[in-house]
């Protein structure tokens, strides 16, 4: 039950943070990507399937409701979930560096992709100044936020088994 | 090559590719499909509730931390200045047009029968790249694409896509947004466009100002009504810095601070009269 609540609730809270709270509460305009942190941590903790599906569903919602292009956020979060899932069960569970680096790199790639999409749709700004002033600080913030999220998620999921674990034990 | 034998990775890569193609195909202005409309309509009440809750929490903490004498005095002075500015705008509009509605809404020269729809802001695009936000009123309320969106302080933006119960608005400060304006004092026509800023407040660039124009910081910029989308006389912002006096093709003549506070936008008004007039 706890697992289900976390799996469904965390992306919803992250969408709320990204679209409502971080718009008003941020550090000199720089804000982390909470949804990307969730997707990255899900990928590392639960595997690529969960993370990619969560990223796809949440990304499509963001595209429809807030985006200018349908599919942009969905593609970014799906790819981030799939990439994060490649680290599933490949390191010690106490290692917070891996989810943090995955989230930071994912945020860097995603922000760069969205910035290029903005340029493509007629926005005017210098990409390299945006890289220094926003993309890199935002990626670092996402990395730091994912450490906190990973720690909370790991504690919440401790003792909780997913379907694959149950199958292994049943055999 | 081992990666290509991994079926889930190949499926995900294909999905990402399809989504990128979809994003490229939908990058222009277009009507919201029924699928998008349905998804948005289901999610809209939840998002509205979340927006109200979030605003409540933010306002609570703002009040909590604004408790020192200096903060309170600052807040009172800010309110007083805002009140004076509002009164000044109202008096100017009354003198020009002598209409109560124009003064209340801080814009002038609206056509007869102008109708507005008040809508709550229920969320903004994440990140800084797109300054778009979603409002809780749509086609069912009379909202249509290209209708201007204002708040009590001035111009906010333009409706860019509409579903049944919600609509997306591109804000004035979006870096792809431009609007034809004039300097209220000198009546010089020019343009303003949004500037992408990673800082807290959005800014506007003023360009195409005629040569020799006497523009000074503090000048109020209002819409000139060209193009037919925005009514004439809606306050856009105030000049904060004059960077170049001579006109040029792409050069910026001045920086303008928008009249609307985009960080604390909770409710907006959509001017719906233009669409109503077009209907048979």
CB contact under 8 A, A21 and B175: no
Assessment of whether the complete model's pTM goes beyond 0.80: no
Write the DSSP symbol of residue B184: T
Average pLDDT, chain A: 83
Q: What is the chain A residue with the closest CA to B266?
A: A20
pLDDT of B174 reads 87
* pLDDT band per the 50, 70, 90 thresholds, residue B112: low
Kindly report the nearest CA distance between residue A128 and chain B, in angstroms.
13
Q: Is the pLDDT of residue A140 over 90?
A: yes
CB contact under 8 A, B26 and A71: yes
Q: Which two tokens stand for residue A5?
A: 């609540």
Give dist(CA B45, CA A23) in Å, integer: 20
Average pLDDT over residues A76-105: 85
What ipTM was reported for this prediction?
A: 0.76
Q: Is the pLDDT of residue B80 over 90?
A: no
Q: What is the chain B residue with the closest CA to A34?
A: B126
pLDDT in tens, B113-158: 678 888 888 888 888 888 888 998 888 888 888 899 988 888 999 9
CA-CA-CA-CA torsion sign (A18, B51, B125, A23): negative
Q: Are B86 and B93 in contact (CB under 8 A)?
A: no
pLDDT of B29 reads 65
The two beta strands, B132-135 and B148-151, are unpaired
pLDDT in tens, B161-208: 888 888 989 999 888 888 999 998 888 888 998 888 766 568 888 888
Q: What is the chain A residue with the closest CA to B52?
A: A20
For residue A7, CA distances in Å to A13, A43, B81, B277 come to: 11, 11, 48, 49
Q: Does the CB of B264 have a partner CB in chain A at under 8 Å?
A: yes
Q: Is the pLDDT of residue B103 over 50?
A: no
Nearest Cα to Cα of residue A24 among B118, B82, B157, B121: B121
Nearest Cα to Cα of residue B204 among B151, B149, B119, B262: B262
Q: Does the CB of B20 have a partner CB in chain A at under 8 Å?
A: yes
Q: Is the pLDDT of residue A108 over 90?
A: yes
């Amino acid at each position: 039950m706890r697992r289900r609540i976390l799996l469904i609730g965390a992306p919803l809270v992250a969408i709320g943070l990204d679209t409502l709270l971080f718009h008003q509460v941020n550090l000199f305009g720089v804000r982390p990507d909470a949804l990307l942190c969730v997707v990255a941590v899900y990928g590392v903790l639960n595997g690529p399937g969960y993370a990619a599906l969560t990223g796809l569903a949440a990304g499509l919602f963001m595209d429809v409701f807030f985006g200018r292009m349908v599919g942009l956020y969905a593609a970014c979060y799906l790819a981030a979930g799939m990439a994060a899932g490649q680290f599933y069960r490949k390191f010690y569970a106490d290692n917070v560096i891996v989810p943090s680096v995955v989230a930071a790199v994912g945020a860097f790639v995603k922000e760069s992709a969205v910035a290029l999409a903005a340029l493509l749709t007629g926005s005017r700004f210098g990409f390299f100044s945006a890289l220094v002033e926003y993309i890199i600080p935002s990626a670092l913030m996402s990395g730091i936020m994912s450490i906190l999220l990973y720690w909370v998620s790991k504690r919440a999921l401790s003792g909780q088994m997913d379907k694959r674990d149950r199958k292994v034990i049943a055999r | 090559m081992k990666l290509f034998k991994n079926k889930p990775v190949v499926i995900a890569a294909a999905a990402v590719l399809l989504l990128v193609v979809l994003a490229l195909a939908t990058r222009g202005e277009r009507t919201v499909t029924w699928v998008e409309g349905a998804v948005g309509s289901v999610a809209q009440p939840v998002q509205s509730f979340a927006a109200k809750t979030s605003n409540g929490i933010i306002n609570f903490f703002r009040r909590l931390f604004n408790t020192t004498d200096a903060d309170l005095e600052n807040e009172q002075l800010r309110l007083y200045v805002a009140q004076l500015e509002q009164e000044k705008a109202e008096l100017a509009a009354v003198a020009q047009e002598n209409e109560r509605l124009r003064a209340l809404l801080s814009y002038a020269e609206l056509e007869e029968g102008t109708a507005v729809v008040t809508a709550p802001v229920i969320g903004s695009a994440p990140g800084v790249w797109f300054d778009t936000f979603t409002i809780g009123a749509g086609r069912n309320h009379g909202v249509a694409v290209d209708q201007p969106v204002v708040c009590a302080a001035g111009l906010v933006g333009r409706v860019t896509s509409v579903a049944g119960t919600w609509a997306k608005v591109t804000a004035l400060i979006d870096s792809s947004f431009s609007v034809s304006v004039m300097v209220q004092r000198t009546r010089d026509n020019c343009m303003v466009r949004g500037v992408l800023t990673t800082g807290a407040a959005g800014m506007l660039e003023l360009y195409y100002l005629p040569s020799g124009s006497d523009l000074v910081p503090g000048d109020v910029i209002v819409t000139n009504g060209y193009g037919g989308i925005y009514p004439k006389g809606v306050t856009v912002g105030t000049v904060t810095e004059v960077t170049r006096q001579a006109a040029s093709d792409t050069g910026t003549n001045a920086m303008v601070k928008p009249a609307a506070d985009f960080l604390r936008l909770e409710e907006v008004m959509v001017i719906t009269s233009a669409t109503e007039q077009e209907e048979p």
